[in-house]
Each structure stands twice: as C-alpha cells, then as structure tokens.
A and B are shown apart, each in its own frame.
Chain A
Amino acid sequence: NAGVTQTPKFQVLKTGQSMTLQCAQDMNHNSMYWYRQDPGMGLRLIYYSASEGTTDKGEVPNGYNVSRLNKREFSLRLESAAPSQTSVYFCASSEGWEDEQFFGPGTRLTVL
C-alpha cells in the first residue's frame, strides 16, 4: 500500500496563477483532509471531507476550493495564487471521522 500520495512534491507559481494539488489514498478511508503548514507553526486545516460527496471548510479556507472526486481522491485548487499561500500542504485521510489520520509527504508550494 502506498498510503497517502500527493502530487506534485514541489511547485513554484507566479501570483495570479492557478493550480490543483492532487491527493489520493489507497486505504479505503472515508474521511480526507487538507492542511497547510507555515514555517515554525503547526498545521492548520483548510478543508475536509468527512465522507465521499461532502466537503466542509476548516480554519483557513479562503482562497481555496476542494473536490472530493471519489472515495480515493481529494484535490485542492488555488484559483489565483497569492504569496500568502506559500506553504507546505499536507493531505491526510482517516477511516472514520474520529480515527487516526494518515498523512501524505506534503507539497511545497512557493508563490512569487
């Protein structure tokens, strides 16, 4: 099992550009999450999907959109990237809402 995979691993964007971060899990988990981590800080929840077909905002959703494409995949889209969105983005999944979360390796995004 690959667990949680994220693509790309690194990305550099110019202000105003758009992109989609991809996340997939092969553990048949119901819940999936997107976090961002800024230097020296803990993770902050952007969006989550408690189950297939549902998505909800987390702590810092502004500037982002998500799509739960199917049970395996949960993508994060930046429509118009801003320098404040420079961060490391982590995707996670869990079997159920209260279960332990498994994290992907992260995507390091720089917005110039």
Chain B
Amino acid sequence: DAKTTQPTSMDCAEGRAANLPCNHSTISGNEYVYWYRQIHSQGPQYIIHGLKNNETNEMASLIITEDRKSSTLILPHATLRDTAVYYCIVRVGGGATNKLIFGTGTLLAVQP
C-alpha cells in the first residue's frame, strides 16, 4: 500500500478555510485517497474520498493534483468542532485485500 505523509499539526482560525495537505508520491493508478477524522477519544469519522477528480460533499472538498502525488483536504469554514486529528489514507480499490492503513495524521487545532 502507498504511504502518506502529513504535517504533525496545523492551526486554523475559526471561520477561515482549513487546508490540510497530504503527500502520497508512491500512489498507484488504482489507489483511492480517503480522509477520515478523529475527534478526541471518539471513533474515526469518514469525510471524503476520491480517485482522480476533485470531490466535494457537505463536509469538505478534496483536491487531488494531476499527477496524483499529493492532495489537499479543504474545510471551507472551520469551526471549533472541527478540531480533530485528520487522517489521509490511500487504499487499493477492489478485492478483499484492500484495507485502510491509518498513519498518525494531522492534528488540526481551530482557534477562536
């Protein structure tokens, strides 16, 4: 499985956009990029995923570079409740061997 690299921590002002980067330079053509977050002591929560195209849902936007070696998760208007550890994960689509491999993630601290 491709590995990901994320900053250990980031700060963001409340109401501003939070841009969380992720490098996955060894990603293969059939590997998806997934984002989950974990608010303190809770189970992780799915945010968004994509393969090649940019994706948007009610929670966030996912921007994947054309060469697919990096991506950015965007929370358009961060709130204090968005303070969490954000995990960028790549997984192979299809088959019984694909699994989520969690790294240590980015701790996003939203400041009032």
Which residues in A have some Cβ–Cβ distance to B below 8 Å?
A: 4, 35, 40-45, 48, 50, 56, 58-59, 90, 92, 97-98, 100-106
Partner of A42 from B42, B49, B94, B102 at Cβ < 8 Å = B102
**Contact A104 B105, beta carbon cutoff 8 Å:** no
Contacts known (A56-B96, A98-B94); A106 close to B102, Cβ less than 8 A: no
Query: Which of A40, A97, A102, A105 is most buried by chain B, counting CB atoms within 10 A of its CB?
Result: A97
**Contact A106 B41, beta carbon cutoff 8 Å:** yes
**Contact A42 B93, beta carbon cutoff 8 Å:** no
Could you name 7 residue pairs across A and B whose Cβ atoms are closer than 8 Å?
A40-B104, A42-B105, A44-B102, A48-B99, A58-B99, A97-B98, A103-B45
Interface on chain B toward A: helix, strand, loop, or mixed SS? loop
Kindly state the separation between the CA atoms of A74 and B77 in the bound complex, as whole angstroms: 38
Which residues in B have some Cβ–Cβ distance to A below 8 Å?
A: 32, 36, 41-46, 49, 87, 93-96, 98-105
Kindly state the separation between the CA atoms of A58 and B98 in the bound complex, as whole angstroms: 10
**Which residue of the partner chain B has the closest CB to A58?**
B99
Query: Which of B43, B93, B96 is most buried by chain A, counting CB atoms within 10 A of its CB?
Result: B43
**Contact B43 A105, beta carbon cutoff 8 Å:** yes
The 10 closest A-B pairs by CB, nearest first: A103-B43, A42-B102, A100-B46, A43-B102, A103-B44, A90-B43, A50-B96, A42-B103, A42-B104, A104-B43
Q: A70 to nearest B CB, angstroms?
A: 20
